[in-house]
Structure formats: C-alpha cells, structure tokens
Structure 1
Amino acid sequence: MIAIGDNLALGSVGRGGGIRAGSNVNNSSAFSDGDHNTKWIATGTGTWEDEGFYFEWDLGTVYWLDRMIIQYGHPWGRPSVGEFVVSTSAGASVGGLTIDRVRSNFDYQQLTLVDAKPSPVRFIYDLMFPPRKVRHIFYHNTDPTVEDAWVWYMMLEYALYGEGYVAEVEMMSDFIDLGGTSSVRRLTWDAGLPPGTYVEIR
C-alpha cells in the first residue's frame, strides 16, 4: 500500500530495480537516494546519445504514479538543462528496433517534453499528470542548440509519487514439497486488495 507523500524513488534499487545511465555511471543512482549531497552530473556539447545525457530507471515493480519532482543544481550558478524528455512504460516489450540505440525494448510512452531554457531558470520541476502504470522511466535531454550549446547540470533528486496499491507485483515462493506426485485442483489466497485483483501462477 502506497501512502500519500511516500517517495517511491527511495529504495527502488534495493527492491529489485536498477538505474542504467549513459554518463557519470558511478553516481547513476544518486538522484534516487533522498540525499541532496549526492548528485548525477551531465555535461557536454554533443548529442544526448553520444554524451550520455540519459538514464533508464527500473523501479522493480509496477506502480500507479501521478507526480514526479526533479531538482537540478549547478556548482557555480544556474543549471544549463536545455530541454528534457520523460517517457514511461509499464513493462510490456515491443519487437523490432527502438527509435534510438540506447533505450531498451519496452513500450515507452512520452510523458512530457519540458523546455527548461526560459528565464528565470528553474531549479525544481514539479510534473503532475493523470495516474499511469509505471515500472520503467527513460529520461534524456534533447541535443544542444546553437543558442544553448552547452549542457551542464547536476540532478540532485528525482522523486516519484502515487497513492493506493501497487499496479502489479511479481513474487516468488520457496520450494513447496508436496511429498510426492500430487494433483493440485485449487489454490486459495487471502489479502486485502482492491476489487478486480487477480493472480497468475507460473
């Protein structure tokens, strides 16, 4: 159960998720730890694929999300973010090639494209949207332009919010010894879950 105000980013790596970043890989999970003293850094003038201005985030399970808060910083002044794109997927795979060579084959749907260039430059972006099922998040900058030829920022925090029950979850039981060959005809389970919940057993 997700309570109002729970930051789902915290502990996502420990819950079976992971973050794959294109640059500054040693700090790739720094924006998900709730510590403003750690940060993921993006800097360069090339394309977002070549410079690694992207990350792919697996939350470990599927949640209903309706809000993301991204906090940027810069050691000497205003962050130069340019534009950034956020896409999400519940985890369904797609066949064939993706539109770029760095994104995994999930059915990503674009959530937003944010123009972070207008003055005054903002440090915090509060993205609110209708609830959607999310397990994977793909973030990337757009390519630098002639007017904004340099991307240089620190991502201090990337918080995720929703409420209610998780949308989907995978669980693995210990080995169950039936003591020999048996025919299982019925299984029962007991849990406090919303109407319409079902279980698939493999």
Structure 2
Amino acid sequence: VLAAALDVVLGAAIAWLLLRGSVRGRGWLDVIATMPLAIPGVVLAVGYLRVFHGWNVPGLGEPLTATWLILVLAYSMRRLPYTVRSAYAALQQLPLALEEAAQNLGANRLRTFARVTAPLMARGLLAGGLIAFITSAVELSSTILLVPRIELGPLSYGIYVYMQSAVGRGPGAALGVVAIVLVGCGTWVAHRLAARGAGSLFRF
C-alpha cells in the first residue's frame, strides 16, 4: 500500500513535469521513469542490496536491507511506470485552459495542481495506484532476494514458501487462487476507473 501511494505521488509529479513543465531533459526523465519495466527484478534486487546494505535506518539501528522499507522502495521503483503512464494519460485529457483560468484568478502553480489538476486526474491516479498495488502483491523476482523475514513477504512470497514442501502445497494453491482473484478484480476495477470514472464503479 505504501509503495502504491508513493508511486501515485511520484507518478503525478513526473507526468506533470513531462506535460506541463518547462525543464530541460524531459525526454530523459520519461526514459528513466519507464526504465524499471525493462530491467529484470533480480537485477534490481541485486543493485538494491549492493547500494543500500550499509545504510542504517535512523531510529531502527539496522541496515535498510534488513527492514521492510527496502521492499517499499523496491516495489515503488519497480511499479512506477504504471502510475506515470496512467497519470500522463489522465493529464493529457485535461484542457490547459482550466489551469490557466485558475492561475489568472491568482492561484500559483502548486495551488492550481492541488485544487484543480490533481482532482481531475483522480481517475487515472487511482487506476495506476491500483495496478501498482496488485502487481506488487504478486511480485516475486525481486522479493526472493530482498525480503528480510518471511512474515514481511507479500502474497507471492507466501505462495513460494508454501510450495517448497509437499505439506504446504494445499495452502500454496489456495493463496494462488487468492492472487488470481486479486489480480482479476483489481484489473477490472482499474479498467472501470480509467474508462468511465470512479462514479461508474457503482453503476451496473
């Protein structure tokens, strides 16, 4: 959940910079934001272990790689492209005139984004955040290397642990069904949000 929430914030900010910002190098920013999709999870996990092994978390007194925070960091970076693309598509559909009208009435860029742009992007942000959440829940390639303790692993790691023994194959299969239902329902809800808006979710 934390990784998905972080992705929503970062995705909205990056999408705004790509479409509304005037900074140089926006093309490279787009490439960097999309790059995690092209890098295998195992490669990313090895990189995280290499870089953050000696980083102690203030207040916890242990390395970042020994806490659940490493999973949040890994999942948020791994699934960031989904929220960036969803936010980008949502922002593309918003008329620039609405933001210009707010600024003409005295609102600065930050206030305009918070009060006008972000609420109108809510459908895309929710859809992207939901996709980031369900794909993080079934992420296994990087989880195997990064999970510090069994109880901190996501749904996919629980399936992996159970399936290592004959006794655990029943619970592992049950968790597999849960994962399939979670992905299916999450994808359906995300599609409804992106296609018709949050209000249509409750209309049948």
Normalising by the smaller structure, the TM-score range is: under 0.3
| TM-score of the aligned structures, taking structure 1 as reference length | 0.26
Greater helix content: 2
Greater strand content: 1
